[in-house]
Amino acid sequence: MALTTASAPVVPEQPGRRSPAAHKRRGSGGGRGRQGVAGYVFLSPWLLGLMGITAIPMLLSLYLSFTDYSVFSTWEDVQWIGLENYQEMFTGDPQFYRAVTVTLVYALVMVPLKLAAALAVALLLNRAWRGVGLFRGLFYLPSLLGGSVALALVWSALFAGDGAVNEFLAFFGITGQAWVNDPDYALGTLIILGIWQFGAPMVIFLAGLKQVPVELYEAASVDGASPWRQFWHVTMPMLSPVIFFNLVLETIRGFQGFTSAFVISNGTGGPVDSTLLYTLYLYKRGFAEFEMGYASALAWVFLLAIGVLTVVLFSTGRFWVHYADGEDR
Partner 1 sequence: MTAPAVARHAAVRKNRFTIGQAVRLAVLIVGLVLVLYPLAWVIGSSFKSDAEIASNISVLPTEFTASHYTAGWNSFDVSFTRFFINSTVIALLTVAANAISCLVAAYAFARLRFPMRGFWFAIMIGTLLLPGDVLIIPQYIVFNTLGWIDTPLLPLIVPKALATEAFFVFLMVQFMRGIPRDLDEAATIDGCSPYGVFWHVILPLSRPALVTTAIFSFIWTWNDFFTQLVYLNELEDYTVPIALRLFIDSTGQSSLGAMFAMSVLSLLPVFLFFVAFQRMLVEGINTSGLKG
Binding mask 57-86 for partner 1 (x = CB under 8 A): xx-xx--x----x-x---------------
- Binder of partner 1 out of 89, 125, 190, 234 (CB under 8 A): 125
Nearest residue (CB) to partner 1, 130 versus 318: 130
* Shortest Å, Cβ 212 to partner 1: 7
Nearest residue (CB) to partner 1, 42 versus 97: 42
Give residue 28's identity as a one-letter amino acid code: S
- Quote the DSSP letter at residue 55: I
* Shortest Å, Cβ 251 to partner 1: 12
Rounded to 5°, the CA angle 240-241-243 comes to 60
- Binder of partner 1 out of 22, 83, 116, 144 (CB under 8 A): 144
- Binder of partner 1 out of 158, 180, 187, 276 (CB under 8 A): 158
3-state secondary structure of 7: coil
Residue 202: CB partners within 8 Å, gap ≥ 6? 117, 118, 119, 121, 122, 125, 136, 139, 140
- Using the CB atoms, write b or e for 99-114: b if 16+ within 10 Å: bbebbeebbebbbeeb
Considering only residues 95-114, where is the footprint of partner 1 by CB under 8 A?
none
- Binder of partner 1 out of 22, 138, 272, 311 (CB under 8 A): 138
Nearest residue (CB) to partner 1, 187 versus 263: 263
* Shortest Å, Cβ 196 to partner 1: 7
Q: Does 20 bind partner 1 (CB under 8 A)?
A: no
Start-end of H helices in the chain: 20-25, 33-49, 56-64, 84-91, 94-125, 132-145, 149-158, 164-171, 186-196, 199-210, 214-222, 227-230, 236-254, 259-264, 278-283, 292-320
Considering only residues 159-178, where is the footprint of partner 1 by CB under 8 A?
160, 162-164, 167-168
Q: How many residues of this chain bind partner 1 (CB under 8 A)?
A: 117
- Binder of partner 1 out of 50, 116, 219, 324 (CB under 8 A): 50
3-state secondary structure of 80: strand
3-state secondary structure of 217: helix
Whole-angstrom Cα distance, residue 100 to residue 160? 26
* Shortest Å, Cβ 301 to partner 1: 10
User: Per this entry, what is the length of the chain?
Assistant: 329
Q: Does 21 bind partner 1 (CB under 8 A)?
A: no
Considering only residues 226-245, where is the footprint of partner 1 by CB under 8 A?
245
Considering only residues 246-285, where is the footprint of partner 1 by CB under 8 A?
249, 252-253, 255-256, 258-259, 262-263, 266, 279, 282-283
Whole-angstrom Cα distance, residue 273 to residue 183? 8
